[in-house]
Structures are given as C-alpha cells and as structure tokens.
Amino acid sequence: MIRTTFTEMFGVEHPLVCGGMTGLGTAELIAPVANAGALGFLTALTQPTPEALAAEVARTRELTDRPFGVNLTILPTRDPVPYDEYRAAIIESGVRIVETAGSSPEPHLPDFKAAGVQVIHKATSVRHALSAQRKGVDAISIDGFECAGHPGEDDVPGLVLIPAAVRALEIPVIASGGLATGAGLVAALALGACAANMGTRFMATDEAPLHDNVKQQLVANDERDTVLIFREFRNTARVARNAVSEQIREIGARPGTTFADVADLASGVRGRERVLTAGALDDGLWWAGQAQGLIHDVAPAADVVATIIAEAELLLGGTLPALVR
C-alpha cells in the first residue's frame, strides 16, 4: 500500500484522483472510483441546478460510503451561473472535499473553511498556485501542458512544472496532466507530488457516462491526436483532434477572428449532446489529454485503479530498488 500526505489528508486508500470532468462527473463514475479507494469528484456544473447537485451527492452516497468530493469550476459563461447557490448546496450536503478550478477560489473560501471543507485548487502555473496558497487553499493540483482542458498559456510540461511547484509551495501538490499509468503515478511521486490526478484515463472506463464510440476512439488515438484551440483568445484549450476542432483552429488563424466566430462550433452543449451522448465523433468538441496515447483498453473503474496501483507498487517495491547496487 502506498501511503502519502494525500492519503492521510483526505482519508483515501490510494494516492490517485479522478478529477472533475464536466458532463462526466456523475454518481455512475465517481461512486465506483471511490469504492476502489481513489478520490473522485462530482462536477457541480454538470447538474442544471444547485438542487440537482444536492440530489446527485445524495445518490452518490447511496452507492459508496467512501470519501468523494465535488468540483466547482469557476469560469466566465454566456449565461450567469449561481455559484453562491452551488457552493451552498455543496456545504449543506455535507461534502468535505472540494476541487476548485478556473478563476480564483477566493470568494468561496470563507464559507468553505467555516464549514470545514478542504479545498484543492487546480492551477496551471507556479505563480497561480502560490496565489491560491496565500488565499488559504489546502492543496494544489498542478496541471502540466499535456493535460486536457485549459493548460494555461505558459506551455510548461509536467516534468518541469510539478517539481517547480513542489519546491515553491508549502502545501501538498497533486500532479496532473499526461498521467494514465502506474509508472506515471510513480513519476509524480518521484517529482515530489503526493498523488496523481487522471481525467482522460477515467473517460475510458465502463462506468464513464459517455458513448462507447468516444471510449473506443480514446483507445485508438495516440499522443498526437489532440489539438490546441483558442490560443489567439489567450484561453488555450487542449481537445481531441476531430473535424470540429480542426475547423476551429483554422478559423482562429484568420486575422481579426473573435470568439463569436467559433462559439457555435465550440458550444459545450453541442459537444455533450452530439459527441458524448450520441457518439458522433466529428460533430462537436470533446476533451482529451495527450495521455490518451497511454490508454489501451476500456475497463471497469475498479480495474483501472487496481492496475495503476499494482504497477506503481511493483515499480516502487521491486523494479526501481533493484537498480541501486
């Protein structure tokens, strides 16, 4: 068994995280992740209302008695989001671990801390991580450039970013981006992190609430099958390579392009309805990290966790120590 600051701090068996994934962080996936001994996060904004989030927390508790958390991603949206009400739903539901992402978590920290909620903040740079530490978060999940979603604008990969964050910060650091295997977990621990966060890997599980076409495409894709979009808007995003993401990239390269020119193509609703639900792989954006090149099967979440931990324990207990003579 691998024990770290992370396992002690959050009361979980393994130093492994299934981070928040909008549209996918539901009870169907997060409960089996928790039952397998890892820490999974429901995504608050996957639910249409704060009341629906409270119901999803309750539903997850019916499926597991182990720790799990809720992700609250704070981003500008076309339609205002009642973040205060979602925060209240999290607290009133008795959730004790929150993952924040996007904008600063500062407005939410007083209420979370007063309720005894531990906050992990996702950051894509050391300077942003230090800012979150000063504001009072309990841990940082540092996203290397390989990650799905928004990797920031600095283009620093995990091999450099993770130890840089560990050196600069006084609070625990969770490694994220480009990780999908037991070897990746061991590498993260060697770089000073206390756990590894994996999103793309948990998309390719039996329980992930998305169409099997997407899961099989993740297995078929390699590490080159992502593209970066929105660079010209300084809102870089890494997504799976498909017809829509290539079209967005082509439009974005035209002089004078604004986000309005790609908004319909980039719609999250479109991606969820046409790709994640209907399985039409080229009809909308869908998120994937470069770690898809390390995914070779679709398996139950419990098997994914068990395989990652077994590989990590073998490396830590046998393969690597045997190199020292």
Pair 109, 139 in one domain: yes
Q: What is the reported pLDDT for 75?
A: 83
CA-to-CA dists, residue 56 to 42, 95, 101, 108, 211, angstroms: 8, 12, 20, 21, 21
Domain assignment present for 215: no
Domain assignment present for 292: no
Domain of residue 236 covers 226-287
Query: Do residues 104 and 83 touch, judged by C-beta distance below 8 A?
Result: no
DSSP-assigned states of every residue in 5-68: HHHHHHT-SSSEEE---TTT-SHHHHHHHHHTTSEEEEEGGGSSSHHHHHHHHHHHHHH-SS--
- The CATH number given to whatever domain includes residue 184 is 3.20.20.70
Pair 121, 260 in one domain: no
Pair 165, 307 in one domain: yes
CA-to-CA dists, residue 71 to 51, 86, 105, 244, angstroms: 16, 10, 12, 27
What does the chain come to in residues? Answer: 325
Pair 40, 156 in one domain: yes
- Count of structural domains, the chain: 2
Q: Is beta strand 237-240 parallel, antiparallel or unpaired with respect to 226-229?
A: antiparallel
> Each residue of 261-317: pLDDT tens digit?
999 999 989 999 999 999 999 999 999 999 999 999 999 999 999 999 999 999 999
Both tokens of residue 268? 């999250």
CA-to-CA dists, residue 226 to 21, 222, 271, angstroms: 17, 9, 15
Pair 10, 43 in one domain: yes
- For residue 106, give the 3-state DSSP assignment: helix
Pair 91, 240 in one domain: no
Domain assignment present for 281: yes
Domain assignment present for 246: yes
Pair 115, 255 in one domain: no
Pair 242, 101 in one domain: no
Pair 139, 240 in one domain: no
Pair 175, 265 in one domain: no
Domain assignment present for 70: yes
Pair 127, 257 in one domain: no
Q: What is the reported pLDDT for 188?
A: 98
DSSP-assigned states of every residue in 206-245: TTSSS-HHHHHHHHH--TT-EEEE-GGGT--EEEE-SHHH
Domain assignment present for 95: yes
Q: What is the reported pLDDT for 325?
A: 86
Domain assignment present for 214: no
Pair 15, 138 in one domain: yes
pTM of the model: 0.95
Tell the residue number behind the tokens 């209907």, with chain if given. 278
Domain assignment present for 217: no
Dihedral angle computed from the Cα positions of residues 249, 252, 255 and 261, in that order, rounded to the nearest 10 degrees: 140
**Which residue numbers in the chain have pLDDT < 50?**
none
